[in-house]
Amino acid sequence: MTVDLVILTVRQDRLRVLLIERGNQPYLGRPALPGGFVRHGETLDETALRELSEETGLDGRKLHLEQLHVYSDPDRDPRGRVVTVAYLALGPDMPLPVAGTDATAARWEPISSALTDGMSLAFDHAAILRDGLERARSQLEHTTVAAAFCPEPFTVGDLRHIYEAVWGFKLDPSNFRRKVTRTAGFLEPTGERRFPETGRPANLYRRGPASLLIPPLLRSGEVSS
């Protein structure tokens, strides 16, 4: 029994997933999601946090972490029967992780290229990644987890860039601002401002206590380009 991690972040305005290069058989040298076997006496959450730290050097306590799905096809692993529990982790842009014991390299791969046919991830990791991506996109509609992608403090524009990167299309800045600022408990003003190289300074916010977005912010209203 294993845990596999779909770790997503937004870096340079692109949604990226953390992939490692496998250092063991099977699928030696192929890109894969980080993960590993559940140890004796561990809960799955503990396994996920441990793998996060071991294989990537990330501190899972700063990330949003949730169970995604269980994959149990008897033929999914050539070594034999291995059931894997996939976790979805969302976090702000983080320092480039170091290669761990089982992995020879780790990198933040843009989602678009990670899911192209040429990439051919190990095991059924392409399917797991697709499910994780869809879950993340859906979560942005109904919850405030998008803020988990932003290092604090952040601006409304930062938050909008998260939505645009995850959903893959532009949002109207004005309507987006109206929506998130009127949702009680989503954003907490710090009173400070950020002065970018170009454009008007933006108010800074911290994550508020709200976790649900009611009414939801639906993907339906997409804008061209």
Partner DNA sequence: TTTGTTTAGGTCCACTTGACCATAAGTTGT
Partner DNA sequence: ACAACTTATGGTCAAGTGGACCTAAACAAA
Q: How far from 128 is each of 7, 31, 157, 217, CA to CA, in Å? A: 11, 13, 30, 25
Tell me the window of 113-121, 148-156, 189-197, 216-224 that interacts with a copy of itself (CB under 8 A).
216-224
Residue 60: burial class (beta carbons within 10 Å; 0-12, 13-18, 19+): buried
Q: Where in 204-223 is the site for DNA (CB under 7 A)?
A: 215-218, 220-221, 223
- Residue 115 makes contact with DNA by CB under 7 A: no
Tell me the window of 10-18, 39-47, 121-129, 171-179 that interacts with DNA (CB under 7 A).
171-179
Instruction: Figure out which of the listed residues 98, 184, 218, 223 binds a copy of itself, where binding follows CB under 8 A.
Output: 218
Instruction: Dig out the tokens for 62 from the structure.
Output: 């700063």
Instruction: Dig out the tokens for 7 from the structure.
Output: 């770790």
Site string for a copy of itself, 176-205 (x = CB under 8 A): ------------------------------
Cα torsion for 21, 27, 30, 34, to the nearest 10°?
Answer: -40
- Residue 38 makes contact with a copy of itself by CB under 8 A: yes
3-state class (DSSP) for residue 138: helix
Instruction: Figure out which of the listed residues 73, 152, 172, 192 binds a copy of itself, where binding follows CB under 8 A.
Output: 73
Instruction: Figure out which of the listed residues 81, 178, 193, 206 binds a copy of itself, where binding follows CB under 8 A.
Output: 81
Query: What is the distance between the alpha carbons of residues 206 and 210, in angstroms, rounded to a whole number?
Result: 12
Query: What is the distance between the alpha carbons of residues 144 and 62, in angstroms, rounded to a whole number?
Result: 15
Binding site for a copy of itself (CB under 8 A): 1, 38, 40-45, 67, 69-70, 72-74, 81, 83, 85, 142, 214-216, 218, 220
